[in-house]
Amino acid sequence: MVDAPKAWSGAPLGRGGTRFYEGLGLLGGVILAVMTLAVFVQVLMRFMGLAGIDGIDEVPRYLFVWLVMIGAAAAMHRAEHTRLEYFEQRFGPRGQAALTVLTNGIGTLLFLSLIRTSFVLVPNSQFQTSAGLGLPLGYVYAAVPVGALLILLPMAWRLIAALRALWPRPS
């Protein structure tokens, strides 16, 4: 039996949103490529007997935080985050819509909390610099609110779509 398509399971935020989040996936790919290059260059320089570049080991470590947030946002748009669907599928369409409202609503609160706490964390960490590159750490911590906002948008879209399915507008 094929389930009827659910209003909140389509591509969030329309065609523009799909293009934007596919672009984010590609941006994540570029970050991953730069991380690989930064690690590979260290190996290459060591094998060539050259002195390492100061702080180059910090490049992949700090980029990893950005990769995770950007990649997680792109995956959220495609609904690729692993989750247990077994119990949800036991419910009818209205029950599933209610569960989507609940899980996406609570999840939204988490990411809003991450954005709120970042208003304190990012400016404060801007006064700290990394040991090798002298990079203000605010640039690293900024990945959290930016990524949280990007993750939040498809979640909020699904939340609203599920709410509309629960309480359709009178035509």
Partner 1 sequence: MAETLLIVFVIFVVLGMPIGIALGVGALAAATLYPALNPIIIPTRFVGLLSDSFLLLAAPLFILAGNLAARGGVARAIIDLATVLVGRFRGGLAYVNIVDSMIFGGISGSAVADVSALGTFLIPQMVRKGYDKDFATILTISTAIMAPIVPPSIVAVVYAWMADESVAAIFAGGYLPGLLVGIGMAVPTFIIAKKRNYPKEPPPTRAQFMTALKNALPAIMIPAIIMGGILIGWFTPTEAAAVAVVYALVVPPIFYRELSWRDMPGIFADSARLSGVIGLIIGLVGAFGWVLTYSKFPFRVAEAIQSVAPTWWLFLLLVIFLYIFLGTFLTPTEIILVTVPVLLPGAQALGIHPIHFGMVCVIASAVGHITPPVGLCLFLGMAISGLPMEKLIRPLLPFLAAIVVVLILVAFVPETVLFIPRLLGFVQ
Binding site residues, partner 1, CB under 8 A: 22, 25-33, 35-36, 39-40, 42-43, 57, 60-62, 64-65, 67-75, 78, 80-88, 99-100, 102-103, 106-107, 109-110, 113-114, 116-118, 120-121, 140-141, 143-144
**Closer residue to partner 1, CB minimum distance, 159 or 169:** 159
**Closer residue to partner 1, CB minimum distance, 75 or 170:** 75
Minimum CB separation of residue 139 from partner 1 in Å reads: 11
Six-digit token string for 5:
């398509």
Q: Which residue has the tokens 């809003």?
A: 112
Q: Give dist(CA 117, CA 104) in Å, integer.
A: 20
Closest CA to 32 of 82, 7, 84, 67: 67
Minimum CB separation of residue 169 from partner 1 in Å reads: 26
SS3 (DSSP) at 52:
coil
Closest CA to 76 of 161, 12, 7, 144: 12
Minimum CB separation of residue 132 from partner 1 in Å reads: 12
Minimum CB separation of residue 170 from partner 1 in Å reads: 29
**Closer residue to partner 1, CB minimum distance, 94 or 116:** 116
Q: Give dist(CA 27, CA 78) in Å, integer.
A: 15
